[in-house]
Amino acid sequence: MTEMDLVARTEPGQPVDELPPPGRAHVAFCSPRRSLRGSGEALRIDLPAPWPEHVDAVADTLAGIVHDGSGGAGRGPVAFGALPYDRDTPASLVVPAVIHGRTADGERWTTRIGDAAAGSDAATTSDVAASSEDGDEAPTPTDPTSVTISSVLSPREWAASVATAVDRIGRGELTKVVLARELSVRTDQALDAATLLRRFRAASPAAFAYSVDGFVGATPELLVSRIGDVVRAHPMAGTLPRTGDPDADSRRAGELLGSTKNRWEHQITIDAVHDTLLPWCSYLDAEPEPSVVAAGPVQHLATLVEGRLGQPEPSVLELVAALHPTPAVGGWPRIEALAVQAELERADRGRYAGPVGWVDAEGNGVFGVGIRGVQIAEDPTSARLFAGVGVVDGSDPWAELEETRSKAAAVLGALTRI
């Protein structure tokens, strides 16, 4: 079935949990402002490599689905995607058969997408595809009781890679590179994406919780949102660990704001995001000073970049394609940093640190940076996760190693509950 065979109908929705029931196949992207979750699959949109050069196909496909209902961000056909970190690879997005949406002010809606040839019965296909989404047919998932965690590179090997990066930065080859550690997880029970999503959401209610194609987590970082003509990004770079003690964490927040190293690392990202968005905007500004955002075991420097788009307004996916990867997950300058990153990480990041979010037929959408999550494998007793750090001149390899441990621990806590 193609998009030309489909019709979407949007109606006011009944109160429905913003999170999918445990054990259910789903897609979801939840934030304090707006949450969407879907079930069933009306259509999958495949993007050939390199995926950023083909994002227009998503807009064309969604525009081909007839929408019978009120407009507005997140209404009508919506495509969810967890896009690869590597720009030179293919990608895919899914258009669910049933989509439940809600906004922070309590507005709710449901969109059903079905066969246009069915006329007034077009919702039948989507209803059948998702008929049991909130039913009781699925067995309750069982938490793992045994978990094996292995590091692809040993701690010493990974610290040596950081030291190599610091040396190259000192020689002037680049100014920053983000290096991530890969961890592999094996469990004695299948990991359930819906259960993990609930745990991530509960642990980080202010974050962007996501679950798409087995990639599940809660990212604190907004890559970009486009709602109407308003564009926002909330880059984060510069990090210190949290202790759990409010007084100590307050002092560390002050240290973070006063750190020359962290402020410089942060400014690289803010400048890159601002300068990338500016050509599309009639107005764009960034907060004059960063704030400190708590994100589980760590706290980050963060600066809101916000503006209004000029005409013609780009789709959020056009902005995603231009921004990704920002210096917060890649480094700077981009080309040099990505080359060093690929050499020293010795790992395929998959969806880690890639854009994750949703886009509607009007080009509205929200995409976060795909961090603080886990990729469940085809064998659901296996999973991969990454924890990354920004390496700049003066970085301490062993301190950076400890930062990856703190970040990974938060993800593993949701994964295992042991």
User: Among candidates 266, 288, 284, which has minimal Cα distance to 226?
Assistant: 284
Check if 407 is active-site.
no
Amino acid at 282: S
Q: How many CB atoms lie within 10 A of CB 236?
A: 27
Question: Contact, 45 vs 57, CB < 8 A?
Answer: yes
Q: Which helix (H) or strand (E) holds 340?
A: helix 334-345
Question: Contact, 18 vs 7, CB < 8 A?
Answer: no
Please enumerate in sequence order all residues whose Cβ is within 8 A of that of 25, keeping only pairs 6 or more positions apart, or say none. 39
Q: How many CB atoms lie within 10 A of CB 134?
A: 13
Q: Which helix (H) or strand (E) holds 331?
A: strand 331-332
- Catalytic pick among 3, 18, 176, 265: 176
- Catalytic pick among 3, 133, 221, 362: 221
Token pair listed for 340: 């060093």
Q: How far, rounded to the nearest angstrom, does the alpha carbon of residue 30 sit from its chain's CA centroid?
A: 11
Cα-Cα end-to-end distance for the chain:
44
State the DSSP string of 117-147: GGGGGTHHHHHHHTTTTTSS-SPPPPPPS-E
Q: Which helix (H) or strand (E) holds 285?
A: strand 281-286
Please enumerate in sequence order all residues whose Cβ is within 8 A of that of 265, keeping only pairs 6 or more positions apart, or say none. 176, 237, 238, 390, 392
Token pair listed for 227: 């709602």
User: Among candidates 402, 380, 377, which has minimal Cα distance to 389?
Assistant: 402
Angle between helix 316-323 and 260-277 (nearest 10): 130
Question: Contact, 400 vs 344, CB < 8 A?
Answer: no
Question: Contact, 93 vs 79, CB < 8 A?
Answer: yes
DSSP 3-state of 97: coil
Check if 318 is active-site.
no
Positions annotated as catalytic residues are: 176, 221
